[in-house]
Structure 1
Amino acid sequence: MNKVAVVGAGISGLSMANYLEKNKIDYHIYERRKKEDLAGHGFLIPQEGIEYLTQIIDPALLFEHGSFLKKYVQYSHTGKKLAEKNLNNVFAISRHSLIHLLSQNISPEKITYEKTIIPCDLQKGRLKHPDGSYLEADIAIISDGSRSRIRRSLFTGEKMRTVRENEVVNIIQDQEIANSIENDFMKFHYDQGGLTFGILKLSHDTILWYSQFDNEKYKVNECSSDNLKKYMLEVFEEWHPLVSSIIRKSSYENVHLWCVYELEELNPFYTENIVFIGDAAHPLIPFTSQGVTSALKDSHILTKYLVEEDTVLKAFKKYEAERKPEIEIHIRNGRALLNQFLLPIDQYTDHILPISYK
């Protein structure tokens, strides 16, 4: 194997590059977006994900950039405690921080930004630049997100559907609010279902918050930051004062509005010399909190087989055989969590922890 092209410089692409770097496999990353992407987005990483992440990032450095959460505490929208559960090494970190940490081990010469890679219509298994020239690589690892353009071009029969949930995600730096809460995962639920507000403390002065909407009941449209803030304040006006305070004091410059999609059925994870990882292979709805961990495991296991096997085809087959069954478990768990989210609180079968475990 002479060279690997990694398409996409998000969490899965950068994780893959770090594992390739660790194993001295030559690669280059192509990312269609600009280098700086500061959208207020973050992640929950369970213990298994931390174990993979600390193989490529110094643990002391990693833990400086986020926070371990002690408990999951579930409330009604007015603040009545419904349930709580101790958490075992669940780590919260902003997307920006994790991207920064994963980029530190990658030489700038190995990443090209604002470069779109597309499938070649004339020759299966080949990718090309927009100018028509072929991508010079023995294999291509595709990590261009849940709505992967390359995946849709290669698997033309796939069926992707919108999920009955949208999310608004943001980060606020406010010492006073941060001081008022513990290092817990707090989640407020509307009594009639289909609307939640989650709070994760990232550091002594920084909070990640997100709101989940049943998009059949709440129409969260792409709009200006001022209009989005106004809409949020209207929807959450009667909620616990902590929720309305966070919404009111937040800047909406880098707020992220997430429309969620899923595949009706998973595609193969590879074709010819092209292989998919992370959301490009298997979009997971956010209730699973397994996106980062799954991307890390994909990267680790794919690299392992690329090193061990004598052909790329064998490596791809073993990678898919190992990863697909676990991903299907997370998909089922995510759908179960989504179905419960849509119900009124008094119809919950259980106060389920919003993290999917295999």
Structure 2
Amino acid sequence: MKKIAVVGAGISGLSMANYLEKHKIDYHIYERRKKEDLAGHGFLIPQEGMDYLYQIIDSELLLQHGNFLKKYIQYSHTGKILAEKELNNVFAISRHSLINLLAQNIAPEKITYEETIIPDEQQDGKLKLSDGTDIDADIAVISDGSRSRIRRSLFKNETMRMVRESEVVNIIQNKAIADAIDNDFMKFHHEEGGLTFGILKLADDTVLWYSQFDNQKYMINECSAENLKKYMVDVFKNWHPLVPEIIQKSHYNNVHLWNVYELEELNPFYKNNVVFIGDAAHPLIPFTSQGVTSALKDSFSLTKYLVEEENTETAFNKYETERKPEIEFHIRNGRTLLKQFLLPLHQQTENILPISYK
């Protein structure tokens, strides 16, 4: 079996490494950030994603680090219940916990941190280390995120556009608040549309919260944590008391302001000996809640065809043929959910679940 370089040690890169490890395929991971920088916030993972995750992480171990949510409850911004829906084994877990669980099966010598991989401008499809040294690999699996530099270098005509939505994401450790929300996924919506506040429990004392903004109505600029907190307090001061309480009691040293982008049109998932997985292949806007599941399915599918097919291009083609239709479905669903989000509440589809199911 050929040697594989995996670029990126996020969820998709580590998932790929775990599947390669299962099949005893030679690989090495390159990550541009420091190991301690690979923290983050959290994910929702539907049952389908959990089925793939159970193949590489022990189920009991997973349950020690995350939480199954019982139901989705949609509220008005003042706290009136608008809709409720039972959730079918939707799992909530922090990014930090999932990264650590995926990394536990990878030998330290198989990951190089603080190493930026760059395209070789002289040889199409070849990649280099930051010092100009050629990467010692036959295949490069690219998992360097939605703004992938390597993808942009190979597909120079691609167009990424900013979506009409931005998010502020944070985690609060507070047992009283965690107890108050039970195991429900709570989401508050402003009646005029374009502004929401979501809350979900990650552990007994840990809650993930996020706010979604129509960035044409609410201009959030990159700013200090202190100023961002003041902005959040002001915007949500008249909401249900739980919302401003969470905003006030949260620490903002790790808050994340996320401007969301999407590809105008998907590129091919591979070129020459370079193949893309996860957000690097197909950025999905957050309304789908399919980022982790898609990364897991990409990694599983690509590994399967690399094992089955002697010809690399045949394996890549089968991987793309299998995965692309489903990704296109989730992209369409995400755009539909975005349009709903921008509408006043009375114009939105009732009981719409913020997860894209195929």
TM-score (norm 1): 0.99
Which residue does 1:205 correspond to in 2? Answer: 205
Contact kept in structure 1, 2:39 and 2:99, CA below 8 Å: no
How far is 1:129 from its partner?
1.2
Contact kept in structure 1, 2:38 and 2:99, CA below 8 Å: no
Quick check: 219-228 or 281-290, which moved more? Answer: 219-228
Which residue does 1:320 correspond to in 2? Answer: 320
Contact kept in structure 1, 2:165 and 2:213, CA below 8 Å: yes
Which residue does 1:19 correspond to in 2? Answer: 19
* Correspondence 1:104-115 to 2 at 5 A: 104-115=104-115
Amino acid at match of 1:63: L
Which residue does 1:311 correspond to in 2? Answer: 311
Amino acid at match of 2:24: K
Which residue does 1:51 correspond to in 2? Answer: 51
- What 5-or-longer segments of structure 1 have no aligned partner? none
Amino acid at match of 2:7: V
Amino acid at match of 1:312: T
Large movers: runs of 4+ above 2 Å: 37-40
- Is 2:150 the partner of 1:136? no
Quick check: 250-259 or 285-294, which moved more? Answer: 250-259
Query: Structure 1: how far apart are the matches of 2:19 and 2:222?
Result: 36
Which residue does 1:83 correspond to in 2? Answer: 83
How far is 1:284 from its partner?
0.1
- Is 2:30 the partner of 1:30? yes
Quick check: 270-279 or 202-211, which moved more? Answer: 202-211
How many residue pairs get aligned? The number is 358
Query: Structure 1: how far apart are the matches of 2:269 and 2:335?
Result: 21
Match of 1:202, SS state, is strand
Contact kept in structure 2, 1:262 and 1:283, CA below 8 Å: yes
How far is 1:40 from its partner?
4.3
Amino acid at match of 1:288: T
Query: Structure 2: how far apart are the matches of 1:276 and 1:348?
Result: 35
Contact kept in structure 2, 1:32 and 1:116, CA below 8 Å: yes
Which residue does 1:268 correspond to in 2? Answer: 268
Which residue does 2:351 correspond to in 1? Answer: 351
Query: Structure 2: how far apart are the matches of 1:128 and 1:230?
Result: 44
Query: Structure 1: how far apart are the matches of 2:205 and 2:282?
Result: 34
Match of 2:355, SS state, is coil
Match of 2:60, SS state, is helix
- Is 2:234 the partner of 1:237? no
Contact kept in structure 1, 2:169 and 2:210, CA below 8 Å: yes
Amino acid at match of 2:31: E
Which residue does 2:162 correspond to in 1? Answer: 162
1:285-327 deviation line (CA, Å, top 9, x unaligned): 0000000000000000000000001111110000000000000
- Root-mean-square deviation (CA, aligned residues, Å) is 0.8
Match of 1:330, SS state, is helix
How far is 1:37 from its partner?
2.4
Which residue does 2:279 correspond to in 1? Answer: 279
Which residue does 1:6 correspond to in 2? Answer: 6
Amino acid at match of 2:202: L
Match of 2:203, SS state, is coil
How far is 1:195 from its partner?
0.4
Amino acid at match of 1:162: M
How far is 1:153 from its partner?
0.4
Contact kept in structure 2, 1:34 and 1:114, CA below 8 Å: yes
Contact kept in structure 2, 1:38 and 1:254, CA below 8 Å: no
- Is 2:193 the partner of 1:193? yes
1:183-236 deviation line (CA, Å, top 9, x unaligned): 000000011000000001111111000000001111111111111111100000
Contact kept in structure 2, 1:72 and 1:184, CA below 8 Å: yes
Identity %: 77
How far is 1:350 from its partner?
2.6
TM-score (norm 2): 0.99
Contact kept in structure 2, 1:118 and 1:129, CA below 8 Å: yes
Which residue does 1:151 correspond to in 2? Answer: 151
How far is 1:351 from its partner?
2.4
Amino acid at match of 1:9: A
Query: Structure 2: how far apart are the matches of 1:251 and 1:87?
Result: 30
Which residue does 1:301 correspond to in 2? Answer: 301
- Is 2:249 the partner of 1:249? yes
- What 5-or-longer segments of structure 2 have no aligned partner? none
How far is 1:175 from its partner?
1.0
Contact kept in structure 2, 1:39 and 1:254, CA below 8 Å: no
